[in-house]
Amino acid sequence: MVSDPKRLLDQASATSELERNLLHSLREIDPPADAAAQGWQSLAKSIAVAGAAATLGSTSSSIQEAATLGEAAGSGASSGVRTVATTGANLSVLKAVSALVLVGGAATGVAWSVGRAPATAPSPIAVVASAPPEPAQTVIPTQPPPWVAPVELSTPAKITSPRAAAKSAESQDLLTKESELVVAARAQLRQGDVRGAGATLQELDRAVPHGKLAQEREVLRIEWLAARGDHKGAARRARAFLTAHPKSPHAARLSRFVD
């Protein structure tokens, strides 16, 4: 049987430099950091996943609690917003997926997000988000709810697919995790939860030390410093950032710290 040709982007292919360049630019398309979380919010509404955790009695009170907090706290919500992604590339080794409530302000109330509660989370509000499983097709999770047994964050999925899929799935996992935490930190800063944001930034450093969203994280760190009153520190780091990345899209945002 004739096998597939080499890909244009293979090292061994005689592809011109220009073509390689252009093809690489197509491969590097990435969504904005908060696109996944935002997409999930509207997706959950569309498919009515939310609010259907009637199967697990222990969750309904948690959902109630979270909903109350969401309504009461409004824009000043200080609950920890932590979302960490799991990977599900190989369905046969999926563990139970737990969700953290993304408290997005009074208007939206409770929205759903994907994640596992990190072991070091300060006051996580964790509920399991699952639609009522149809009996004929459900895989019943056997793990205890996440707030009972902290789950290892960086368990790589056992992937049995070809090399590229395995590698990219794992780095995908980290990148998704990183972006979820970035989204969370940004939300916390926006809501005035400076301590929570600091904890999330710390978690980022711990869980994804060499992540791809370095610039976004640095910007958040600078904003965090300013938020807790360390204006000198914010100015110093902003100046350093602008020197290192003068053409960065974040430059405009940071210039106000430098005056």
Partner 1 sequence: MNALRPSASLPGDSPVESPSAPLRAPTPVSRDDFESIYAAHFKQVWGALRRLGVREADVADVSQKVFITAYRKLDSFEGRAHVRTWLLGICERTASDYRRSAPVRREVATDVATIELTAPERTDVVAELGSRQRLQIAETLLDKLPEAQRAVFVLFELEELSGPEIAAILDISVGTVRSRLRLARETFTREVQRLTARGLSEMEGA
CA distance 222 to 257: 8
Nearer to partner 1, 87 or 191 (CB): 87
196-255: which residues touch partner 1 (CB under 8 A)?
Answer: 247
Does 141 bind partner 1 (CB under 8 A)? Our answer is yes
- What are the two backbone dihedrals, phi and then psi, of residue 17, each rounded to the nearest 5 degrees? -60, -40
- Give the closest residue to 17 by CA, choosing from 25, 28, 168: 25
List, in sequence order, the alpha helices (H) in the chain.
Answer: 17-27, 35-47, 57-73, 163-190, 194-207, 214-227, 231-244, 251-254
Stretch that binds partner 1, among 102-110, 143-151, 166-174, 218-226 (CB under 8 A): 166-174
The values of phi and psi at residue 195, to 5°, are -65, -45
Both tokens of residue 18? 């220009």
| Whole-number Å distance between alpha carbons of 247 and 229 | 27
Which tokens belong to 233? 């520190």
Residues 21-60: x where in contact with partner 1 by CB under 8 A, - otherwise, as a string: xxx-xxxxxxx---xx-xxx-xx--xx-x-----------
Q: What is the largest CA-CA distance in the chain?
A: 68
Min CB(65)–partner 1 separation in Å: 21
176 is a contact residue toward partner 1 (CB under 8 A): yes
SS3 (DSSP) at 103: strand
Kind and range of the H or E element at 47?
helix 35-47
**Per rule CB under 8 A, is residue 175 in the interface with partner 1?**
yes
Contact between 144 and partner 1 (CB under 8 A)? no
Q: State the minimum distance, in angstroms, from the CB of residue 145 to partner 1.
A: 13
Smallest gap from residue 15 Cβ to partner 1 (A): 9
Site string for partner 1, 77-116 (x = CB under 8 A): --------xxxxxxxx-x-xx-x--------------xx-
Spatial contact of 38 and 187, defined as CB atoms under 8 Å apart: no
For partner 1, the binding residues (CB under 8 A) are 2, 4-5, 7-9, 16-19, 21-23, 25-31, 35-36, 38-40, 42-43, 46-47, 49, 85-92, 94, 96-97, 99, 114-115, 129-131, 133-134, 136-141, 157, 160-162, 164-165, 169, 172-173, 175-176, 180, 247
